[in-house]
Amino acid sequence: MATRRAVAVVTGASSGIGRATALELAAAGFDVVGTSRNTSKVAALDGITFLDLDVTSDASVTALIQQVIDRFGRIDVLVNNAGIGSTGAAEESSLVQDQNIFDINVFGVMRTTKAVLPHMRAQGRGRIINTSSIYGFIPQPYMAVYVASKHALEGYSESLDHEVREHGVRVLLVEPGATNTAFEGNIVQPDAPLAVYAQQRRIADQLVADAVKGGDAPVTVAKAILAAATDSTPKLRYTAGPLAGRLSLLRRIVPARAFDRQIRKFNKLAS
Ligand code: NDP
């Protein structure tokens, strides 16, 4: 059944930022499809259709996008929100583990993007909104793989946006600071820990846990995503929450050496 309302797909809508975003988009009048790897475990949400999706599977992504087109006739907004954190020194995880993080945070986004673009180009309109992070533009020791995945997402999104703009499609980034979700509990721990990094890793893990616990409410990010989805003249980047706004500004104006010092101080690393 084709719909006349705008249709939004939100990946990873079972919890946290994705769930809040699905609710925010539905309240704003979108027909919303939310995804989870296992929708049978997801509590029903008013106005949201839940469909299964594993972003690491080509077949699952193709099936999801086809299902949405068959059911709703179009896709106006794709929110690539599904993602996973990882901690540990870069030397402490196997390459397979690093690849698994990228398979969700980077290749997952590429899979859904490639699947949805033909439909958006044919419509002559659409927005792809990618959930980046402050770690898409600043470093974070002991989270190098996660940080690399979000930096990759930034470069991919900004480049792709130039390619598809003339087809009426925009690719936009939302950059949250620490947000109070299940993120920290789902963080992947390094599979090859080394004693030499143990003490500093523990400090870093505690910093992340404290930041997420004291972080913004997911609805703060959801509102930034809604703005990206609906602004008549969208920005390429939307920071979400006060910390992200401050850090984005500081990254641009603070000299590199001073910024480097602050990163070490914050992370309790020897100067
Ligand atoms: P949550 O752990 O609460 O949510 C993560 C979501 O991703 C879940 O809905 C989960 O769905 C989904 N997901 C995980 N793996 C896959 C997969 N292979 N295929 C499909 N879906 C998957 O974390 P957040 O809400 O915090 O995270 C959402 C996004 O926000 C992520 O991209 C994260 O990097 C980013 N972010 C989070 C910050 C924070 O401090 N919380 C800060 C900055 C950015 P299910 O398990 O049901 O499949």
Specify which residues 172 forms β-bridges with: 129
Annotation marks residue 159 as catalytic: no
Q: What is the 3-state secondary structure (H, E, C) of the chain?
A: CCCCCCEEEECCCCCHHHHHHHHHHHHCCCEEEEEECCHHHCCCCCCEEEEECCCCCHHHHHHHHHHHHHHHCCCCEEEECCCCCECCCHHHCCHHHHHHHHHHHCHHHHHHHHHHHHHHHHHCCEEEEEECCHHHCCCCCCCHHHHHHHHHHHHHHHHHHHHHHHHCEEEEEEEECCECCCCHHHCECCCCCCHHHHHHHHHHHHHHHHHHHCCECHHHHHHHHHHHHHCCCCCCEEEECHHHHHHHHHHHHCCHHHHHHHHHHHCCCCC
Token code pair at residue 7: 């249709």
**Residue 183 beta carbon below 6 angstroms from any ligand 1 atom:** yes
Residue of 86, 93, 132, 149 with catalytic role: 132
**In ligand 1, which atom is closest to the CA atom of 131?**
32
For position 1, what pLDDT does the model report? 59
For position 27, what pLDDT does the model report? 97
Q: Is residue 1 part of a domain?
A: no
Q: Is residue 177 part of a domain?
A: yes
Q: Is residue 271 part of a domain?
A: no
Q: Is residue 246 part of a domain?
A: yes
Phi and psi at residue 241, in whole multiples of 5°? 95, 155
For position 271, what pLDDT does the model report? 80
Pocket test of ligand 1: the residue of 19, 181, 221 to mutate, having most ligand atoms within 8 Å of its CB, is 181
**Residue 15 beta carbon below 6 angstroms from any ligand 1 atom:** yes
Q: Print the domain residue range for 123.
A: 7-266
Mean pLDDT by 10 residues, the chain (271 residues): 86 98 98 97 93 98 98 98 98 98 98 98 98 98 98 98 98 98 95 98 96 97 98 98 96 97 96 80
Q: Is residue 143 part of a domain?
A: yes
Interval 204-220: pLDDT, tens: 999 999 999 999 999 99
Q: In what order do the strands lie in the sheet with 31-36?
A: 48-52, 31-36, 7-10, 77-80, 126-131, 169-176, 237-240
For position 8, what pLDDT does the model report? 98
Q: What is the pTM of this model?
A: 0.97
The closest residue, in CA terms, to atom 47 on ligand 1 is 36
- Domain count for the chain, please give it: 1
CATH number at residue 218: 3.40.50.720
For position 4, what pLDDT does the model report? 81
